[in-house]
A and B are shown apart, each in its own frame.
Chain A
Amino acid sequence: MRVVSQTVVPCDITDEFTKAASKLRTGQLVKDEYFTLFEAVGALEIMDSKMDSGYLGPGENHAQALEDDYDTMRELAPEEVVGIMDELLCHEMAWHIGHPLSQTLFTSLYLDKLLWPVPNTFEEAHFGRPRNAMNQESPAIVHLVLRAYCLGLVKCCDFVHARVSGEYFYEEEDFVTQLYNRSLLSQFDQQPFIQLLDRAIMWIEDRNNQLDDKIREAIQCRLVMRRDLLLGFEQDMEILETRMSAHFTSCVSQLPALAKSISLGKSVPESFSLKIQRKLASTVPPRPMVKISPEDALAHLKRLCQDAVDVLDILNYRGPHNLKVAIWSLLSRKPQPSVYIRSLVQSVIVNNMTVLGVVPVKQFLYDELAEIVLPASALLRANTDEIEMPSDPRFQIAQHMDAFVKRFAQPFVDTFRSACLNRCRIRRTVCHTIVDWDNLQMEAEDLDEQLRTLNNEPPLVLQNGDTTYSYPLSSWTYHQKLNQFRLIIQMGFELSIYSPEELPGMYWYLSHICSTHLGHIDRIRTFTVSTAKRNLASLAGEKLEALERHAALQKSLRLLERLTTQLVAVDALAISLHALYVLLVRHELLPLASSAQAYSSERLRYELRMKPFIPITLPELVPFEEYRREAMLEGDSDEVVLERATKAISEARKAWETTLNDGAFARDPDGQSDQTTAIEEDWKRDVKDIMRACIGASIAIGTVKKALAAHKGTNNGKDMERLNLRVSIAEPGSKSRWHDWWAVPQILQTGTELTT
């Protein structure tokens, strides 16, 4: 019976519509202003087999088009079970990589049987639906072993799906959450899945007389891997308490055996079908099955497990600075850790306003402030719970600080979480958030002024007699913002978005930001040193409080020193590459992307490149004329520029050496040096790669130097002839690109004769 709504009265408009439509010309578009490209693209053409997933070809009937005649009840050879398991694993990893279920796992007829219609009980999820009895377990290799594997796999997907969709990710870019009205059995607890896998493992163990050892072990290691993985996913957040990731470790240990036995499997292609796509609730055109090789799938799984194990390394909280180093090192692994890992790291970073499961967000922010700008400061001790007199300055300080926390805690934590985005999005996100930080800096400045009065901060007298105040909160905000400037520029190199002619300018700009940052850190240090001096007086009295203050101040100064060293290292290498590229441009050795007939000028291209920084008040945008002068080192002779490159590269090599020796993490001088972690190894490898880039740059500078000298010798100082050099710049990811953030040119001599 048709249900007819009381309020809606249907009427037949066919005639009217046909009449109106007949007045339209072909191709005429009738649309309102809300019909955008999005809608146009979303539209499908019915009866076009490439777009219409319900389209039946000539001679095709409904049953043929939709139904598969594969019998999921049929007996399977053990080799076929291995083959199906491995193909499922490939599909599972393809889904992890970002392909939709409809093109991967949901092409499996076995999974389709288990999942559709949505089972009401765990037992109902079986291959014999709807006709056969639920408890049929014969043949066991199908109904116990393969079923246990498939159900375990679905539950793994359920955990992964929940983890990823609960965090910040980009639909379709990172992951496709679409389930097509199916459930990944989230309605069931994980218990029966594990029990079933355990039973399957026991059953296969007992088959030592009936099955060939090799095939038995192949099936067994797949079941064990599945159980480990399931437990690993299920308990992924428990590492915050247990500090163990035994399941992922165990899973990794199964992989060699799994890899070795792939060849034993016999594929059963008819158990996978694209026809299922037609039944999935979806309005997308039919799309092909995604095929990835078992080798790629295993490599992905191995990395995933290894990354999951190494997440443990970031849990050891030693302050925000160290945490950031750890997170960036882990997430900068190549290839980038999977979206599941990146989501897990996000959950670990902050969950219920608590960082790493132990540090309240407010404390986390205070730790950061204490590390950088407010060591042992009364501002961080004020607490409205303890001081209740609203007239007491300490009460007011606490109130202001609470306002600060309220405003800054989330953006600050997000600077950690943004590392978990895909690499393209990291840069795009920071391009957006940097504007927020610019505004935050102004707010922080207001707070600083009020706090300064409440706190009776003594002014600092500068050499020229002027007085100034520390502005701790806005100083810290500016420090954050400068970090983001640097990140945007350096990620641009990694993502390969600069054209060759932009390289001198971008390295100049990087060094410009570094030197601004170094100056800023000097300013912060000046205030910390002056506080430390004042503290010395109290220290003489050996008051405990003064001793603690001293320790905190020294710790902060050490961190500022560490930051300085790293900035000097980046700055020096940037200066050197800048100078080197200037020489290449002057001698027309740099390949150019734009032609003389280009529509844009250098000025317009500069404006476009600086777009993220245009709205920023501080540091100010460098006007084009100044940029042009600085970036091209106008007025400096080749000799001067060459000297600059040579000096800077030697300084860079020293500074990176020092950075490496200082280690990844800031430690207390008496603090025990813990065992080197996997993440620390990643960090070291990264620094060593930069040192390789330094060596590469040295060699390139040397080659140019020689060529210039020879040129001058034969040319008697006459005007430029082309140097006989060939320049190539390796793409990020290629072997001769030592580091993604450092585009070091490779320069080859092309011949000895010089044109005279």
Chain B
Amino acid sequence: MNHDASTSACPTASPPTSDLRYVQYDGAREDEYVSAMRQLISKDLSEPYSIYVYRYFLYQWGNLCFMAMDDSRPEDPMVGVVVSKLEPHRSGPLRGYIAMLAVREDYRGRGIATKLVRMAIDAMIELNADEIALETEITNTAAIKLYERLGFLRSKRLHRYYLNGNSAYRLVLYLKEGVGSIRTADPYAVHADARPEMAGPILAPPPALLHGNGGGVI
């Protein structure tokens, strides 16, 4: 999904971020949080995610959503957000997924995105995650760098993954040894049987929107 992080390309040069407050999402304050979050994330998207996408993540995995707040702007304090989930991947490894990541443009380059992602990863590790995955546009070098610094590898490239026709990298981080050997249900198995010949289109991929942009707007 969306990762916009022209951020911390130069973390060493970052001004101190101690003036920011990092908080976990709180469902009781959805009204206040969700609209700010949508503002932050949708800003650069031609097609915004519907409210259901936010609720899908926040209602189930609000504990994996973290926000950066700047209290010096009380009317609109949210300057960064990360939204994620954690569930078994095809009945296999427990996979964390970073769905969205965004930092306000004028706050980028201070390591906020890195800090948010670290909080999400730490929370996932706490919950015994085996691996973490996400997608990001191949042109989003800031996001790619951020995740690679944290130890992610590009596992594959996804052709024309986004609605605008851009391709993506899937970035993956293994957290434990042996994750690569955990069996998963083969999503193609049924189809392969149904198509004795390699003819005709295969199942359409899910709509591009759900295509995470964990690399989002940072």
> What 0/1 pattern do residues 198 to 211 of B give for CB contact below 8 A with A?
11111011111110
Which listed residue (B155, B159, B179) contacts A423, Cβ 8 A? B159
* Chain A residues closer than 8 Å to B152, beta-carbon distance: 600
Residues of chain B in range 173-218 having any CB-CB distance to chain A below 8 Å: 173-181, 188, 196-202, 204-210
Q: Is B86 at the interface (CB under 8 A from chain A)?
A: no
Residue interface bits B96-130, CB-to-A below 8 A is 1, else 0: 00000000000000000000000001000100000
Is the Cβ of A41 less than 8 Å from the Cβ of B207? yes
In Å, the complex CA distance between A172 and B160 comes to 8
| A475 sits at the interface (CB 8 A) | no
Assuming the contacts A40-B56, A170-B205, asked whether A424 and B157 have C-beta atoms less than 8 A apart, the reply is yes
Interface residues of A toward B: which range? 35 or more
Q: A27 to chain B: which residues have CB within 8 Å?
A: 27, 30-31, 34, 55, 58-59
> Cα distance A607–B178 when bound, in Å?
8
Contact with B along A257-295 (1 / 0, CB 8 A): 000000000000000000000000000110110000000
Give Cα A406 to B47, complex, Å. 48
A484 to chain B, nearest CB (A): 15
Residue of B nearest to A595 (CB): B149
A604 within 8 A of B: yes
Name B62's closest neighbour in chain A (CB-CB): A27
Assess whether B150 is interfacial by the CB under 8 Å rule: yes
Tell me how many residue pairs across A and B have CB atoms closer than 8 Å: 189
- B199 x A168 contact (CB < 8 A): yes
* Contacts A27-B27, A38-B207 given; does A497 touch B157 at CB 8 Å: yes
- Flag if A599 contacts B121 (CB, 8 Å): yes
Contact A173 B205 (CB under 8 A): yes
B18 in the interface (beta carbon within 8 A): no
Question: Using Cβ atoms and an 8 Å threshold, which residues of chain A touch B85?
Answer: 37
A197 vs B134: C-alpha distance when bound (angstroms) = 51
Tell me whether B155 and A288 are in contact (CB under 8 A): no
A410: contacting residue among B149, B150, B181, B197, CB under 8 A: B197
Stretch in A217-225, A543-551, A609-617, A671-679 with 4+ CB within 8 Å of B: A609-617
A600 to B55, Cβ gap below 8 A? no
Per the bound structure, the CA–CA distance linking A283 and B202 in Å amounts to 21
Q: Which residues 363-393 of A sit at the B interface, judged by CB distance below 8 A? A: none
A591 to chain B, nearest CB (A): 11
B43 at the interface (CB under 8 A from A): no
Question: Which of A414, A425, A603 sits near B198, CB closer than 8 Å?
Answer: A414
Contact status B149-A168, CB under 8 Å: no
Q: Which A162-184 residues sit within 8 Å CB-CB of chain B?
A: 165-174, 177
A51 within 8 A of B: yes
CA distance A480 to B102 in the complex (A): 45
Q: A594 contacts the other chain (Cβ, under 8 Å)? A: yes
Task: Please give, as numbers and ranges, the residues of chain B lying within 8 Å of A495 by CB-CB distance.
Answer: 156-157
A600-B157 in contact given A27-B34, A99-B165 (Cβ < 8 Å): no
CB distance from A210 to the nearest CB of B (A): 43
A243 within 8 A of partner (CB): no
Interface residues of A in 75-97 (CB under 8 A from B): 97
Main secondary structure of the interface of A (DSSP, over half): loop
Collect the chain B residues with CB atoms within 8 Å of residue A601's CB. Answer: 151
B residues in contact with A423, CB < 8 Å:
159
Q: Give A422-434 as 1s and 0s: 1 = Cβ < 8 Å from B's Cβ atoms.
A: 1111011000100
Q: Which residues of A contact B175 (CB under 8 A)?
A: 599-600, 604
CB interface residues, B 14-48, toward A, < 8 Å: 27, 30-31, 34, 46-48
Contact B53 A41 (CB under 8 A): yes
* A360 sits at the interface (CB 8 A): no
In angstroms, how far is the closest chain A Cβ from the Cβ of B131?
Answer: 8
Give complex CA distance A63, B85 in Å: 44
B172 contacts partner chain A, Cβ-Cβ < 8 Å: yes
**Residues of A with C-beta under 8 A to B55:** 27, 29, 40
Whether a CB of chain B sits under 8 angstroms from the CB of A716 is no
CB distance from A177 to the nearest CB of B (A): 7
Residues of chain A lying within 8 A (CB to CB) of residue B181: 614
A611 to B53, CA, bound (A): 31
What residues on A are CB-neighbors of B155 within 8 Å?
497, 608, 611
| Residues 1-47 (chain A) with a chain B CB within 8 angstroms | 26-29, 35, 37-45
In the complex, the chain B residue whose C-beta lies closest to that of A421 is B159
Closest residue on chain A to residue B33 by CB atoms: A27
Indicate whether A171 sits within 8 Å of B201 (C-beta atoms), given known contacts A27-B58, A593-B148. Answer: yes
A427 and B205 form a contact (CB under 8 A): no
B158 adjacent to chain A (CB < 8 Å): yes
Is A455 interfacial (CB 8 A cutoff)? no
Bound together, the chains give a CA A417 to CA B181 distance in angstroms of 29
Closest to B125 in A: A599
Query: Binary interface profile of A, 277-318, with partner B (CB < 8 Å = 1, else 0)?
Result: 000000011011000000000000000000000000000000
CB neighbours (8 Å) of A597 from chain B are: 149-150
- B47, closest chain A residue (CB): A285
Q: Distance (Å) between the CB of B180 and the closest chain A CB?
A: 4
Q: Is the CB of A432 within 8 A of B188?
A: yes
Q: Is the C-beta of A461 less than 8 angstroms from some C-beta in chain B?
A: no
- 10 tightest A-B contacts by CB? A598-B151, A600-B151, A40-B56, A41-B210, A27-B30, A593-B148, A171-B204, A29-B59, A424-B159, A497-B154
Q: Which residues of B contact A (CB under 8 A)?
A: 27, 30-31, 34, 46-53, 55-56, 58-60, 85, 121, 125, 138, 145, 148-161, 163, 165, 167, 169, 172-181, 188, 196-202, 204-210
**Can you give 24 contacting A-B residue pairs, CB < 8 Å?**
A40-B210, A41-B50, A41-B53, A43-B50, A51-B50, A166-B199, A167-B199, A168-B198, A168-B199, A168-B200, A172-B204, A173-B160, A285-B47, A413-B198, A424-B158, A495-B157, A498-B154, A594-B150, A600-B175, A604-B174, A607-B177, A607-B180, A608-B174, A614-B180
Contacts A29-B55, A414-B198, A604-B174 supplied; 20 other A-B pairs, CB < 8 Å:
A27-B55, A29-B56, A37-B210, A42-B207, A43-B50, A51-B48, A99-B165, A169-B201, A170-B204, A173-B158, A173-B160, A424-B156, A424-B158, A497-B156, A499-B148, A598-B151, A599-B150, A599-B173, A600-B175, A608-B179
